[in-house]
Amino acid sequence: MQKNRFCTSSSKRALRTDRSESLMPAGPALSSWKQLTSSAGKKMSDTGQQLLSEGRRLYGIALWRALTGDSGDSANKDIRRAIVALSSAMNWLEGWDSDGFDLAHQFLDKSGELARREFSAGCCFDFRDDAYHQACPVALAHSRVGMSAGFVIKQSHCSVCGKDPEECEHISGRVYDGERCCRVITEAELLEVSLVERPNQPDARIHSYTLTRSELYASLGEGFAWGMTISCDRCLNPCRGLSYPMRNT
């Protein structure tokens, strides 16, 4: 019995391997595929580095203002914008630039701490629809999970010539006369949305989640009253590292 199960499992693995290999491009197509992959990686990295640079710049401005006693609305906006930029930088750099990803993570933690320490009015859980929500980009960025949509394309056209992509000669991802070709989808039917570790669209992430009554009462004790303002102190504590929920499923 055990031998039969082992053989069956091995056969399935071989079948999956054969299918994967049969789907890989070969010859000139493989070379083109590698070029497109490299181009996509460079685009991801470049975008991520731009976001990282902007986030660090805004963090520096907010820090300088805090050190000079300016904790006004402009400084608060700067640190909030820094947090959004650095969170997005992590999304774009993940898998393409590990050093940049780690640096964005470090500055995101620094920005979160500065925001909570100097501009605490903006560090509260959202209360809407009779429920509390965690919507802080710092907290959410530490859980590396995103969303990937599955859908049927009903109508689309080439961004270069406007024709049906199946009929035109342009290849998506390549640059023609300074314009990067892409498939413009004008009509589609959504089939499902899956949770993934690294979504194809880097910023397709969870933007908030609901906090349960039980965990709030357990954390805040008898003095807690439903509907009261609750400050989030997460960023005042040392970073516990990143979590990868999809690796445990």
Question: According to the model, what pLDDT value does residue 158 have?
Answer: 95
Q: What are phi and psi of 144, to 5 degrees?
A: -85, 85
**The pTM is what?**
0.75
Question: According to the model, what pLDDT value does residue 27 have?
Answer: 53
Relative to beta strand 131-134, strand 209-211 is antiparallel
Question: According to the model, what pLDDT value does residue 10 have?
Answer: 32
- Contacts of residue 15, defined as CB under 8 A and 6 or more positions apart, other chains included, come to none
Per-residue pLDDT of the chain in tens (249 residues, 90 and over written 9):
333 332 333 333 333 333 333 444 555 555 554 555 566 678 889 999 999 999 999 999 999 999 999 888 899 999 999 999 999 999 999 999 999 999 999 999 999 999 999 988 889 999 999 999 999 999 999 999 999 989 899 999 999 999 999 899 998 878 888 888 989 999 999 999 999 999 988 999 999 999 999 999 999 998 899 999 999 999 999 999 999 998 865
Q: Rounded distance, CA 100 to CA 48, Å? A: 8
Q: How far is CA 26 from the centre of its chain?
A: 32
Question: According to the model, what pLDDT value does residue 5 have?
Answer: 31
Q: How far is CA 100 from CA 45, 60, 94, in A?
A: 8, 18, 8
